[in-house]
Structure 1
Amino acid sequence: MYWKSMTALALATRTAALLRFSCTQLTIDRVDPLVNPGLSPSPHLHQIIGGNSFNITMDPAKDMPAESACTTCQFVEDSSNYWTAVLFFRARNGTYKRVPIVPNVGFPGAEGGMTVYYMQNGLADYQQNSKVTAFKPGFRMIIGDPLTHTAADANRFRQVTYTCLQDPGTRFPETKNLPNKPCPSGIMANIRFPTCWDGKNLDTHNHMDHMAYPANGTFDSRGPCPESHPVPVPQLMYEVVWDTRQFNHPEDWPEDGSQPFDTEASE
Protein backbone atom coordinates (compact mmCIF):
# COMPACT_ATOMS: atom_id res chain seq x y z
CA MET A 1 0.00 0.00 0.00
CA TYR A 2 1.05 3.57 -0.63
CA TRP A 3 0.86 6.24 2.04
CA LYS A 4 1.72 9.70 0.80
CA SER A 5 2.29 13.15 2.17
CA MET A 6 2.99 16.52 0.66
CA THR A 7 3.58 18.86 3.52
CA ALA A 8 4.93 22.25 4.42
CA LEU A 9 3.73 22.37 8.00
CA ALA A 10 6.36 24.07 10.13
CA LEU A 11 6.85 22.56 13.57
CA ALA A 12 8.99 24.79 15.75
CA THR A 13 12.35 23.30 16.62
CA ARG A 14 12.65 24.77 20.11
CA THR A 15 9.14 24.33 21.50
CA ALA A 16 7.49 21.31 23.04
CA ALA A 17 4.77 20.26 20.62
CA LEU A 18 2.59 17.29 19.83
CA LEU A 19 -0.11 17.97 17.28
CA ARG A 20 -3.04 15.56 16.86
CA PHE A 21 -5.89 16.55 14.61
CA SER A 22 -8.59 14.98 12.47
CA CYS A 23 -8.98 15.56 8.74
CA THR A 24 -12.15 14.62 6.86
CA GLN A 25 -12.14 13.40 3.29
CA LEU A 26 -11.46 15.98 0.60
CA THR A 27 -12.14 13.45 -2.16
CA ILE A 28 -11.74 9.82 -3.18
CA ASP A 29 -10.34 9.72 -6.70
CA ARG A 30 -7.89 8.11 -9.10
CA VAL A 31 -5.33 10.86 -8.70
CA ASP A 32 -1.68 10.64 -7.70
CA PRO A 33 0.35 13.81 -8.35
CA LEU A 34 3.54 12.23 -6.97
CA VAL A 35 3.69 8.87 -8.75
CA ASN A 36 1.53 9.77 -11.78
CA PRO A 37 1.68 13.58 -12.10
CA GLY A 38 -0.71 14.95 -14.69
CA LEU A 39 -2.29 11.54 -15.36
CA SER A 40 -6.06 11.27 -15.03
CA PRO A 41 -7.20 8.74 -14.15
CA SER A 42 -4.25 7.39 -12.17
CA PRO A 43 -3.91 3.59 -11.81
CA HIS A 44 -4.26 4.10 -8.05
CA LEU A 45 -7.38 5.06 -6.12
CA HIS A 46 -6.77 7.22 -3.08
CA GLN A 47 -8.49 8.83 -0.15
CA ILE A 48 -7.25 12.43 -0.06
CA ILE A 49 -7.41 14.95 2.78
CA GLY A 50 -6.15 18.45 3.42
CA GLY A 51 -5.93 21.66 1.40
CA ASN A 52 -8.36 22.38 -1.42
CA SER A 53 -5.58 23.29 -3.89
CA PHE A 54 -4.96 19.56 -4.45
CA ASN A 55 -4.80 18.71 -8.16
CA ILE A 56 -3.39 16.11 -10.55
CA THR A 57 -0.15 18.00 -11.14
CA MET A 58 0.90 19.63 -7.83
CA ASP A 59 3.74 21.58 -9.43
CA PRO A 60 6.78 21.19 -7.13
CA ALA A 61 7.89 24.70 -8.10
CA LYS A 62 4.84 26.11 -6.34
CA ASP A 63 3.99 26.31 -2.67
CA MET A 64 0.76 24.36 -3.04
CA PRO A 65 -0.39 24.59 0.61
CA ALA A 66 -0.19 28.39 0.35
CA GLU A 67 -2.62 28.27 -2.59
CA SER A 68 -5.32 26.53 -0.55
CA ALA A 69 -8.22 28.67 0.59
CA CYS A 70 -9.36 26.07 3.12
CA THR A 71 -8.56 22.60 4.44
CA THR A 72 -10.49 19.55 5.59
CA CYS A 73 -8.24 19.37 8.67
CA GLN A 74 -9.34 20.63 12.08
CA PHE A 75 -5.92 22.25 12.50
CA VAL A 76 -6.66 24.98 9.96
CA GLU A 77 -3.07 26.26 9.94
CA ASP A 78 -2.15 23.09 8.06
CA SER A 79 -3.02 23.24 4.35
CA SER A 80 -0.82 20.28 3.46
CA ASN A 81 -2.21 17.30 1.57
CA TYR A 82 -2.09 13.68 2.67
CA TRP A 83 -3.44 10.63 0.91
CA THR A 84 -3.71 6.90 1.47
CA ALA A 85 -4.60 3.69 -0.28
CA VAL A 86 -8.27 2.68 -0.42
CA LEU A 87 -9.14 -0.69 1.10
CA PHE A 88 -11.45 -3.24 -0.51
CA PHE A 89 -13.09 -6.41 0.75
CA ARG A 90 -13.01 -9.36 -1.64
CA ALA A 91 -16.00 -11.55 -0.84
CA ARG A 92 -16.27 -15.31 -1.33
CA ASN A 93 -18.36 -14.78 -4.48
CA GLY A 94 -15.59 -12.68 -6.05
CA THR A 95 -17.20 -9.27 -5.65
CA TYR A 96 -15.32 -6.27 -4.28
CA LYS A 97 -16.68 -3.64 -1.93
CA ARG A 98 -14.88 -0.51 -0.77
CA VAL A 99 -14.35 -0.41 3.00
CA PRO A 100 -15.58 2.89 4.49
CA ILE A 101 -13.40 4.98 6.76
CA VAL A 102 -14.74 6.24 10.08
CA PRO A 103 -13.51 8.96 12.46
CA ASN A 104 -11.12 8.14 15.26
CA VAL A 105 -12.07 8.29 18.93
CA GLY A 106 -11.99 11.80 20.33
CA PHE A 107 -13.26 13.50 17.19
CA PRO A 108 -17.07 13.44 17.30
CA GLY A 109 -18.70 14.79 14.17
CA ALA A 110 -15.72 14.12 11.92
CA GLU A 111 -16.52 12.42 8.62
CA GLY A 112 -14.08 9.63 7.90
CA GLY A 113 -10.66 10.82 6.88
CA MET A 114 -7.62 10.28 9.08
CA THR A 115 -5.97 11.37 12.29
CA VAL A 116 -2.66 13.14 11.68
CA TYR A 117 0.12 13.47 14.24
CA TYR A 118 3.27 15.59 14.30
CA MET A 119 5.62 14.72 17.16
CA GLN A 120 9.04 15.74 18.42
CA ASN A 121 9.21 12.61 20.59
CA GLY A 122 7.26 9.38 20.73
CA LEU A 123 3.53 9.43 21.35
CA ALA A 124 3.91 8.37 24.99
CA ASP A 125 6.49 11.07 25.77
CA TYR A 126 4.65 14.16 26.96
CA GLN A 127 7.84 16.21 27.25
CA GLN A 128 8.21 16.53 23.46
CA ASN A 129 11.57 18.27 23.86
CA SER A 130 13.75 16.72 21.17
CA LYS A 131 15.17 19.14 18.63
CA VAL A 132 13.89 18.47 15.14
CA THR A 133 14.11 20.37 11.87
CA ALA A 134 10.83 21.62 10.44
CA PHE A 135 9.71 20.35 7.04
CA LYS A 136 10.56 22.84 4.31
CA PRO A 137 8.00 24.24 1.83
CA GLY A 138 7.56 21.79 -1.05
CA PHE A 139 8.65 18.74 0.98
CA ARG A 140 7.20 15.45 -0.29
CA MET A 141 7.52 11.82 0.76
CA ILE A 142 5.94 8.42 0.27
CA ILE A 143 5.98 5.30 2.37
CA GLY A 144 4.84 1.90 1.18
CA ASP A 145 4.50 0.05 -2.08
CA PRO A 146 1.29 -1.10 -3.81
CA LEU A 147 2.99 -4.39 -4.72
CA THR A 148 3.97 -5.25 -1.15
CA HIS A 149 2.60 -8.73 -0.48
CA THR A 150 5.40 -10.53 1.38
CA ALA A 151 6.82 -10.24 4.88
CA ALA A 152 10.21 -9.21 3.47
CA ASP A 153 8.61 -6.39 1.50
CA ALA A 154 6.57 -5.24 4.49
CA ASN A 155 9.69 -5.11 6.68
CA ARG A 156 11.12 -2.40 4.42
CA PHE A 157 8.50 -0.16 5.99
CA ARG A 158 9.01 -1.32 9.52
CA GLN A 159 6.83 1.29 11.20
CA VAL A 160 3.67 0.64 9.18
CA THR A 161 1.41 -1.59 11.28
CA TYR A 162 -2.21 -2.63 11.78
CA THR A 163 -4.42 -3.04 14.84
CA CYS A 164 -7.46 -5.32 15.05
CA LEU A 165 -9.86 -3.14 17.04
CA GLN A 166 -11.68 -4.97 19.80
CA ASP A 167 -13.32 -1.63 20.60
CA PRO A 168 -12.75 1.91 19.28
CA GLY A 169 -10.08 2.56 21.91
CA THR A 170 -7.92 -0.50 21.15
CA ARG A 171 -4.28 0.35 20.36
CA PHE A 172 -2.41 -2.93 20.91
CA PRO A 173 -1.16 -5.28 19.67
CA GLU A 174 0.12 -3.94 16.37
CA THR A 175 0.90 -6.38 13.55
CA LYS A 176 2.87 -6.06 10.32
CA ASN A 177 0.12 -7.69 8.28
CA LEU A 178 -3.57 -6.95 7.94
CA PRO A 179 -5.59 -9.01 10.43
CA ASN A 180 -6.72 -12.34 8.95
CA LYS A 181 -9.81 -12.60 11.13
CA PRO A 182 -12.92 -10.47 11.70
CA CYS A 183 -12.26 -7.48 13.97
CA PRO A 184 -15.18 -6.40 16.20
CA SER A 185 -14.68 -2.63 15.73
CA GLY A 186 -12.69 -2.43 12.50
CA ILE A 187 -9.03 -2.22 11.50
CA MET A 188 -6.70 0.66 12.23
CA ALA A 189 -3.67 1.35 10.06
CA ASN A 190 -0.78 3.00 11.94
CA ILE A 191 1.48 4.74 9.43
CA ARG A 192 4.68 6.21 10.85
CA PHE A 193 6.82 7.94 8.26
CA PRO A 194 10.65 7.90 8.37
CA THR A 195 12.12 10.62 10.58
CA CYS A 196 15.66 11.06 9.24
CA TRP A 197 16.25 13.45 6.32
CA ASP A 198 19.34 13.74 4.10
CA GLY A 199 19.26 17.50 4.73
CA LYS A 200 19.41 18.33 1.02
CA ASN A 201 16.51 17.07 -1.05
CA LEU A 202 12.86 18.04 -0.66
CA ASP A 203 12.03 15.05 -2.87
CA THR A 204 13.75 12.29 -4.84
CA HIS A 205 12.83 10.25 -7.92
CA ASN A 206 11.02 7.56 -5.90
CA HIS A 207 9.90 10.04 -3.20
CA MET A 208 11.61 7.89 -0.55
CA ASP A 209 15.40 7.99 -0.87
CA HIS A 210 15.79 11.37 0.86
CA MET A 211 14.29 9.84 4.01
CA ALA A 212 15.32 6.98 6.30
CA TYR A 213 14.33 5.32 9.55
CA PRO A 214 16.72 5.58 12.52
CA ALA A 215 19.92 3.54 12.23
CA ASN A 216 18.70 1.41 15.12
CA GLY A 217 15.69 1.48 17.34
CA THR A 218 12.79 3.75 16.45
CA PHE A 219 11.80 7.38 16.68
CA ASP A 220 9.93 6.51 19.88
CA SER A 221 13.08 5.09 21.46
CA ARG A 222 15.13 8.07 20.20
CA GLY A 223 17.21 5.92 17.89
CA PRO A 224 20.00 7.87 16.14
CA CYS A 225 19.74 8.86 12.50
CA PRO A 226 22.11 7.14 10.04
CA GLU A 227 25.09 9.10 8.69
CA SER A 228 23.48 9.20 5.25
CA HIS A 229 20.39 10.94 6.65
CA PRO A 230 21.66 12.92 9.64
CA VAL A 231 18.84 15.45 10.11
CA PRO A 232 15.98 14.48 12.47
CA VAL A 233 12.56 15.75 11.44
CA PRO A 234 9.19 15.45 13.20
CA GLN A 235 7.44 12.10 13.31
CA LEU A 236 4.53 12.30 10.88
CA MET A 237 1.99 9.62 11.67
CA TYR A 238 -1.44 8.71 10.30
CA GLU A 239 -4.12 6.65 11.97
CA VAL A 240 -6.72 5.37 9.52
CA VAL A 241 -9.76 3.50 10.87
CA TRP A 242 -11.50 1.22 8.39
CA ASP A 243 -15.01 0.18 9.36
CA THR A 244 -14.86 -3.52 8.51
CA ARG A 245 -17.81 -4.51 10.69
CA GLN A 246 -20.15 -5.13 7.77
CA PHE A 247 -17.63 -7.68 6.45
CA ASN A 248 -17.37 -9.73 9.64
CA HIS A 249 -19.65 -12.56 8.50
CA PRO A 250 -17.53 -15.75 8.16
CA GLU A 251 -19.67 -16.99 5.28
CA ASP A 252 -18.52 -14.00 3.19
CA TRP A 253 -14.80 -14.69 3.65
CA PRO A 254 -12.83 -16.72 1.04
CA GLU A 255 -13.17 -20.43 1.61
CA ASP A 256 -9.44 -20.98 1.16
CA GLY A 257 -8.64 -18.75 4.16
CA SER A 258 -6.86 -16.12 2.06
CA GLN A 259 -6.73 -12.48 3.11
CA PRO A 260 -9.94 -10.77 1.89
CA PHE A 261 -8.75 -7.19 2.46
CA ASP A 262 -6.54 -5.60 -0.17
CA THR A 263 -6.07 -2.63 -2.49
CA GLU A 264 -5.92 -4.81 -5.62
CA ALA A 265 -9.28 -3.55 -6.85
CA SER A 266 -7.80 -0.07 -7.02
CA GLU A 267 -4.82 -0.97 -9.17
Structure 2
Amino acid sequence: MEGDIGEQGNCTTCAYTEDFSNYWTAAMYFRHENGSYKRVPQYPNAQLGTEGQDAPNIKGGMTIYYSQKDLESNGNMSITAFKPGFRMTVGSPTTTQEGAEANLGLRYTCLETILTRFNETADFPSKPCPAGIMAIHHFPACWDGKNLDSPDHQSHMYDTSLGLFREAGPCPSSHPVRMPQLAYKTMWNTTAFQDMWPEDGSQPFVWSYMDSKGYGTHADYVFGWKGDSLQRAMNDSCMFHGCGSPGVQGILETQTVADMNQCAVEKTVVEDTDGWLAELPGQTMDM
Protein backbone atom coordinates (compact mmCIF):
# COMPACT_ATOMS: atom_id res chain seq x y z
CA MET A 1 0.00 0.00 0.00
CA GLU A 2 1.52 3.28 -1.10
CA GLY A 3 0.96 6.92 -0.24
CA ASP A 4 -0.99 8.36 2.66
CA ILE A 5 -3.01 5.43 3.98
CA GLY A 6 -4.73 7.77 6.42
CA GLU A 7 -6.77 8.98 3.47
CA GLN A 8 -7.55 5.52 2.09
CA GLY A 9 -9.45 3.77 4.89
CA ASN A 10 -13.10 4.24 5.82
CA CYS A 11 -12.95 2.91 9.40
CA THR A 12 -10.42 2.09 12.12
CA THR A 13 -10.22 -0.51 14.88
CA CYS A 14 -8.34 1.99 17.07
CA ALA A 15 -9.88 3.93 19.92
CA TYR A 16 -8.82 7.20 18.30
CA THR A 17 -10.88 7.81 15.17
CA GLU A 18 -8.08 9.70 13.39
CA ASP A 19 -5.63 6.80 13.63
CA PHE A 20 -5.66 4.78 10.40
CA SER A 21 -2.11 3.46 10.81
CA ASN A 22 -1.22 -0.17 10.06
CA TYR A 23 0.26 -2.23 12.90
CA TRP A 24 1.53 -5.77 12.30
CA THR A 25 3.23 -8.65 14.11
CA ALA A 26 3.47 -12.32 13.16
CA ALA A 27 0.91 -14.86 14.38
CA MET A 28 1.80 -17.23 17.22
CA TYR A 29 1.07 -20.96 17.05
CA PHE A 30 1.10 -23.85 19.52
CA ARG A 31 2.96 -26.90 18.25
CA HIS A 32 1.45 -30.14 19.60
CA GLU A 33 3.59 -33.19 20.32
CA ASN A 34 1.82 -34.94 17.42
CA GLY A 35 3.21 -32.34 15.01
CA SER A 36 0.02 -30.33 14.41
CA TYR A 37 -0.36 -26.60 14.98
CA LYS A 38 -3.10 -24.36 16.35
CA ARG A 39 -3.15 -20.58 16.21
CA VAL A 40 -2.93 -18.84 19.59
CA PRO A 41 -5.73 -16.27 20.06
CA GLN A 42 -5.16 -12.76 21.38
CA TYR A 43 -7.05 -11.07 24.18
CA PRO A 44 -7.47 -7.39 25.09
CA ASN A 45 -5.16 -5.56 27.44
CA ALA A 46 -6.80 -5.58 30.89
CA GLN A 47 -5.86 -1.94 31.34
CA LEU A 48 -8.21 -1.06 28.48
CA GLY A 49 -11.07 -3.34 29.54
CA THR A 50 -14.63 -2.84 28.30
CA GLU A 51 -17.15 -0.03 28.29
CA GLY A 52 -19.35 -1.49 30.99
CA GLN A 53 -21.02 -4.59 32.35
CA ASP A 54 -23.00 -5.40 29.20
CA ALA A 55 -20.64 -3.78 26.69
CA PRO A 56 -18.49 -5.77 24.25
CA ASN A 57 -14.83 -6.60 24.80
CA ILE A 58 -12.29 -5.05 22.49
CA LYS A 59 -11.40 -7.48 19.71
CA GLY A 60 -7.73 -8.25 19.28
CA GLY A 61 -4.92 -8.00 21.78
CA MET A 62 -2.50 -5.32 20.58
CA THR A 63 -2.07 -2.06 22.49
CA ILE A 64 -0.18 0.78 20.80
CA TYR A 65 1.82 3.39 22.71
CA TYR A 66 3.13 6.73 21.40
CA SER A 67 5.19 8.33 24.15
CA GLN A 68 7.15 11.56 24.25
CA LYS A 69 9.37 10.54 27.17
CA ASP A 70 8.13 7.64 29.30
CA LEU A 71 4.91 6.47 30.97
CA GLU A 72 5.22 8.98 33.79
CA SER A 73 5.56 12.30 31.98
CA ASN A 74 5.90 13.99 28.59
CA GLY A 75 9.25 15.65 29.26
CA ASN A 76 10.20 18.87 27.47
CA MET A 77 11.64 17.58 24.18
CA SER A 78 10.21 18.65 20.84
CA ILE A 79 8.69 15.55 19.20
CA THR A 80 8.14 15.39 15.43
CA ALA A 81 5.21 13.20 14.39
CA PHE A 82 5.64 10.65 11.60
CA LYS A 83 4.87 11.93 8.09
CA PRO A 84 2.39 10.63 5.47
CA GLY A 85 4.00 7.69 3.68
CA PHE A 86 6.32 6.89 6.59
CA ARG A 87 6.98 3.24 7.42
CA MET A 88 9.48 1.18 9.39
CA THR A 89 10.11 -2.24 10.86
CA VAL A 90 11.86 -3.44 14.00
CA GLY A 91 13.53 -6.80 14.60
CA SER A 92 14.28 -9.53 12.07
CA PRO A 93 13.29 -13.21 11.65
CA THR A 94 17.01 -14.02 11.26
CA THR A 95 18.11 -12.49 14.59
CA THR A 96 20.51 -14.63 16.62
CA GLN A 97 20.41 -15.16 20.38
CA GLU A 98 23.21 -12.63 20.84
CA GLY A 99 21.37 -10.03 18.78
CA ALA A 100 18.09 -10.65 20.57
CA GLU A 101 19.63 -10.30 24.02
CA ALA A 102 21.28 -7.03 22.98
CA ASN A 103 18.01 -5.47 21.74
CA LEU A 104 16.28 -4.34 24.94
CA GLY A 105 13.21 -3.20 23.03
CA LEU A 106 12.11 -6.68 21.89
CA ARG A 107 10.96 -8.80 24.80
CA TYR A 108 8.42 -11.27 26.26
CA THR A 109 6.65 -11.34 29.62
CA CYS A 110 5.24 -14.52 31.14
CA LEU A 111 1.90 -13.35 32.55
CA GLU A 112 1.21 -14.66 36.03
CA THR A 113 -1.97 -12.54 35.94
CA ILE A 114 -3.50 -10.35 33.26
CA LEU A 115 -1.83 -7.35 34.93
CA THR A 116 1.71 -8.79 35.13
CA ARG A 117 4.22 -6.49 33.45
CA PHE A 118 7.61 -7.90 34.58
CA ASN A 119 9.98 -9.73 34.14
CA GLU A 120 11.07 -9.55 30.50
CA THR A 121 13.05 -12.13 28.49
CA ALA A 122 14.57 -12.16 25.01
CA ASP A 123 13.11 -15.61 24.24
CA PHE A 124 9.79 -17.37 24.72
CA PRO A 125 8.96 -18.25 28.35
CA SER A 126 10.27 -21.72 29.19
CA LYS A 127 7.28 -22.75 31.31
CA PRO A 128 3.48 -22.51 31.09
CA CYS A 129 2.29 -18.95 31.83
CA PRO A 130 -0.95 -18.81 33.90
CA ALA A 131 -2.39 -15.80 32.02
CA GLY A 132 -0.61 -16.04 28.67
CA ILE A 133 2.38 -14.38 26.99
CA MET A 134 2.86 -10.68 26.27
CA ALA A 135 5.08 -9.84 23.29
CA ILE A 136 6.66 -6.36 23.39
CA HIS A 137 8.05 -4.35 20.46
CA HIS A 138 9.74 -0.96 20.99
CA PHE A 139 10.54 0.84 17.73
CA PRO A 140 13.45 3.24 17.19
CA ALA A 141 12.63 6.91 17.73
CA CYS A 142 15.47 8.72 15.91
CA TRP A 143 14.84 9.68 12.25
CA ASP A 144 17.31 10.88 9.61
CA GLY A 145 14.87 13.69 8.80
CA LYS A 146 14.83 12.87 5.09
CA ASN A 147 13.62 9.41 4.13
CA LEU A 148 10.11 8.10 4.74
CA ASP A 149 11.43 4.57 4.19
CA SER A 150 14.64 2.74 3.29
CA PRO A 151 15.40 -0.48 1.37
CA ASP A 152 15.64 -2.51 4.59
CA HIS A 153 12.83 -0.44 6.23
CA GLN A 154 15.18 0.32 9.14
CA SER A 155 18.22 2.36 8.02
CA HIS A 156 16.32 5.67 8.01
CA MET A 157 15.83 5.17 11.76
CA TYR A 158 18.32 4.77 14.63
CA ASP A 159 17.51 2.77 17.73
CA THR A 160 18.41 4.16 21.16
CA SER A 161 15.60 2.33 22.98
CA LEU A 162 16.32 1.23 26.54
CA GLY A 163 13.21 -0.93 26.82
CA LEU A 164 10.73 -1.03 29.71
CA PHE A 165 9.18 2.23 28.41
CA ARG A 166 12.15 4.21 29.64
CA GLU A 167 13.09 7.36 27.73
CA ALA A 168 15.26 6.43 24.76
CA GLY A 169 18.83 7.66 24.62
CA PRO A 170 19.94 10.79 22.71
CA CYS A 171 19.71 10.75 18.93
CA PRO A 172 22.98 10.78 16.92
CA SER A 173 23.84 13.47 14.37
CA SER A 174 23.09 11.03 11.53
CA HIS A 175 19.49 10.65 12.75
CA PRO A 176 18.85 13.87 14.69
CA VAL A 177 15.05 14.11 14.61
CA ARG A 178 13.26 12.79 17.68
CA MET A 179 9.99 11.07 16.81
CA PRO A 180 7.38 9.46 19.07
CA GLN A 181 8.58 6.37 20.95
CA LEU A 182 6.29 3.78 19.38
CA ALA A 183 5.65 0.47 21.15
CA TYR A 184 3.34 -2.53 20.74
CA LYS A 185 2.14 -4.82 23.51
CA THR A 186 0.42 -7.95 22.18
CA MET A 187 -1.44 -10.25 24.58
CA TRP A 188 -1.40 -13.92 23.52
CA ASN A 189 -3.89 -16.17 25.31
CA THR A 190 -1.94 -19.40 25.70
CA THR A 191 -4.08 -20.69 28.58
CA ALA A 192 -6.00 -23.21 26.44
CA PHE A 193 -2.73 -25.13 25.94
CA GLN A 194 -1.66 -25.42 29.59
CA ASP A 195 -2.54 -29.12 29.77
CA MET A 196 -0.87 -29.89 26.43
CA TRP A 197 2.64 -28.85 27.43
CA PRO A 198 5.13 -31.43 26.06
CA GLU A 199 6.12 -34.15 28.50
CA ASP A 200 9.80 -33.43 27.92
CA GLY A 201 9.25 -29.84 29.08
CA SER A 202 10.27 -28.28 25.75
CA GLN A 203 8.86 -24.86 24.82
CA PRO A 204 5.94 -25.49 22.38
CA PHE A 205 5.13 -22.05 20.94
CA VAL A 206 6.37 -20.85 17.54
CA TRP A 207 5.98 -17.79 15.38
CA SER A 208 4.34 -18.33 12.00
CA TYR A 209 7.75 -18.35 10.28
CA MET A 210 8.84 -21.37 12.40
CA ASP A 211 10.80 -19.51 15.09
CA SER A 212 10.61 -21.65 18.24
CA LYS A 213 13.08 -19.55 20.26
CA GLY A 214 11.42 -16.16 19.83
CA TYR A 215 14.65 -14.35 18.97
CA GLY A 216 13.32 -13.42 15.52
CA THR A 217 10.31 -11.48 16.76
CA HIS A 218 9.64 -8.45 14.55
CA ALA A 219 6.95 -5.89 13.80
CA ASP A 220 5.91 -3.50 11.03
CA TYR A 221 4.50 0.03 11.15
CA VAL A 222 2.90 2.20 8.46
CA PHE A 223 1.86 5.69 9.57
CA GLY A 224 -1.74 6.66 8.86
CA TRP A 225 -2.95 9.32 11.31
CA LYS A 226 -5.19 11.86 9.60
CA GLY A 227 -3.99 15.42 9.14
CA ASP A 228 -2.03 16.84 12.05
CA SER A 229 -3.80 14.75 14.71
CA LEU A 230 -0.70 12.90 15.97
CA GLN A 231 1.35 16.09 15.99
CA ARG A 232 -1.36 17.79 18.06
CA ALA A 233 -1.12 14.96 20.58
CA MET A 234 2.68 15.21 20.70
CA ASN A 235 2.42 18.98 21.27
CA ASP A 236 -0.03 18.49 24.14
CA SER A 237 0.70 17.48 27.73
CA CYS A 238 -2.09 14.88 27.86
CA MET A 239 -1.43 11.31 28.97
CA PHE A 240 -3.41 8.14 28.17
CA HIS A 241 -7.20 8.64 28.40
CA GLY A 242 -6.56 12.31 29.11
CA CYS A 243 -5.95 12.70 25.37
CA GLY A 244 -9.55 11.66 24.75
CA SER A 245 -12.00 8.91 25.65
CA PRO A 246 -15.67 8.20 24.86
CA GLY A 247 -17.79 10.92 26.42
CA VAL A 248 -14.75 12.94 27.50
CA GLN A 249 -13.48 15.85 25.43
CA GLY A 250 -9.78 15.61 24.59
CA ILE A 251 -7.18 16.61 22.04
CA LEU A 252 -8.12 13.49 20.00
CA GLU A 253 -11.48 12.15 18.88
CA THR A 254 -12.50 8.69 20.09
CA GLN A 255 -15.08 6.02 19.31
CA THR A 256 -16.87 3.33 21.30
CA VAL A 257 -15.71 -0.28 21.56
CA ALA A 258 -18.75 -1.36 19.53
CA ASP A 259 -17.70 0.95 16.69
CA MET A 260 -14.10 -0.29 16.89
CA ASN A 261 -15.26 -3.91 16.63
CA GLN A 262 -17.40 -3.23 13.57
CA CYS A 263 -14.36 -2.28 11.51
CA ALA A 264 -12.79 -5.24 9.69
CA VAL A 265 -10.86 -6.01 6.51
CA GLU A 266 -12.54 -8.40 4.12
CA LYS A 267 -10.66 -11.70 3.86
CA THR A 268 -8.89 -12.21 0.54
CA VAL A 269 -7.33 -15.60 1.35
CA VAL A 270 -9.52 -18.56 2.26
CA GLU A 271 -7.74 -20.81 4.75
CA ASP A 272 -8.39 -22.55 8.04
CA THR A 273 -6.74 -20.45 10.74
CA ASP A 274 -8.74 -21.67 13.74
CA GLY A 275 -8.52 -25.45 13.63
CA TRP A 276 -5.58 -27.83 14.04
CA LEU A 277 -3.22 -27.59 11.06
CA ALA A 278 -0.84 -30.19 9.67
CA GLU A 279 1.64 -27.43 8.84
CA LEU A 280 2.04 -23.71 9.35
CA PRO A 281 0.37 -21.55 6.69
CA GLY A 282 2.74 -20.95 3.79
CA GLN A 283 4.98 -23.87 4.66
CA THR A 284 5.59 -26.86 2.38
CA MET A 285 5.55 -30.36 3.79
CA ASP A 286 8.46 -32.71 3.05
CA MET A 287 7.33 -35.85 1.26
TM-score (norm 1): 0.71
For 1:140, the equivalent position in structure 2 comes to: 87
Tell whether the 8 Å contact from 2:108 to 2:125 is kept in structure 1 after alignment.
Answer: yes
Secondary structure at 1:83 match in 2:
strand
User: 1:255 deviation in Å?
Assistant: 4.3
Other-structure match for 1:131? 78
2:45 is the counterpart of 1:104: yes
> Is the contact between residue 119 and residue 128 of structure 1 (CA under 8 Å) also seen in structure 2?
no
Residue 210, structure 1, aligned to residue 156, structure 2:
yes
The CA deviation string for residues 82-114 of structure 1, in whole angstroms up to 9 with x for no partner, is 111100011111111100000001232201241
What is the distance in 1 between the residues matched to 2:26 and 2:148? 23
**Cα distance, 1:266–1:200 mapped onto 2, change above 3 Å:** farther
Alignment counterpart, residue 67 of structure 2, candidates 115, 119, 141: 119
Structure ID, larger Rg: 2
Question: CA offsets per residue over residues 58-80 of structure 1, 9 Å max, x none?
Answer: 02xx2112111111111111011
Deviation readout 1:123-171 (Å, 9 max, x if unpaired): 2x224432211101110001122233x3123146430111111111100
Question: What is the aligned partner in structure 2 of residue 91 from structure 1?
Answer: 32
Question: What secondary structure, in the 3-state scheme, does the structure 1 residue paired with 2:192 have?
Answer: helix
The 3 A distance-change label for structure 1 pair 157 and 66 is: farther
Question: Which structure 2 residues correspond to residues 107-256 of structure 1 after superposition, within 5 A?
Answer: 107-108=49-50, 109-123=57-71, 125-148=72-95, 150-155=96-101, 157-214=103-160, 217=162, 220-249=166-195, 252-256=196-200
1:147 to 1:222, Cα distance in 2 relative to 1, 3 A: closer
SS of 2:151's partner is: coil
1:194–1:86 Cα change, 3 Å: same
- Dislocated runs of 4+, deviation >6 Å: none
For the structure 1 residues 168 and 202, does the alpha-carbon distance in structure 2 shift closer, same or farther, using more than 3 Å as the test? same
Alpha-carbon contact 1:189-1:241 (below 8 Å) kept: yes
Size of the alignment, in residue pairs? 203
The residue identity in structure 2 corresponding to 1:186 is G
Q: Could you tell me which amino acid in structure 1 is paired with residue 41 of structure 2?
A: P
- For 1:7, the equivalent position in structure 2 comes to none
The one-letter code of the counterpart of 1:200 is K
Counterpart of 1:258 in structure 2: which amino acid?
Answer: S
Distance (whole Å) between structure 2 residues aligned to residue 186 and residue 126 of structure 1: 29
Report which of the two has the higher share of strand.
Answer: 1
Compute the displacement of 1:266 (Å).
Answer: 4.6
Please, what is the CA RMSD of the aligned residues? 1.9
For residues 186 and 113 of structure 1, the distance between their equivalents in structure 2, rounded to whole angstroms, comes to 11
Displacement of 1:232 in angstroms is: 1.1
Taking structure 2 as the reference length, what is the TM-score of the superposition? 0.66
**CA separation of 1:75 and 1:245: change in aligned 2, threshold 3 A:** same
The separation in 2 between residues aligned to 1:152 and 1:85, in whole angstroms, is 21
Stretches of structure 2 that go unaligned for 5 or more consecutive residues are 51-56, 211-279, 283-287
Aligned partners of 1:86 and 1:266 also within 8 Å = no
Q: 2:104–2:162: 8 Å Cα contact kept in structure 1?
A: no
Partner SS, residue 23 of structure 2: strand
Distance 1:156 1:201, change over 3 A: farther
Which residue of structure 1 aligns with residue 206 of structure 2? 262
Instruction: Supply the AA of the counterpart residue of 1:80.
Output: S
Equivalent residue letter for 1:259: Q
Q: Secondary structure at the match of 1:239?
A: strand
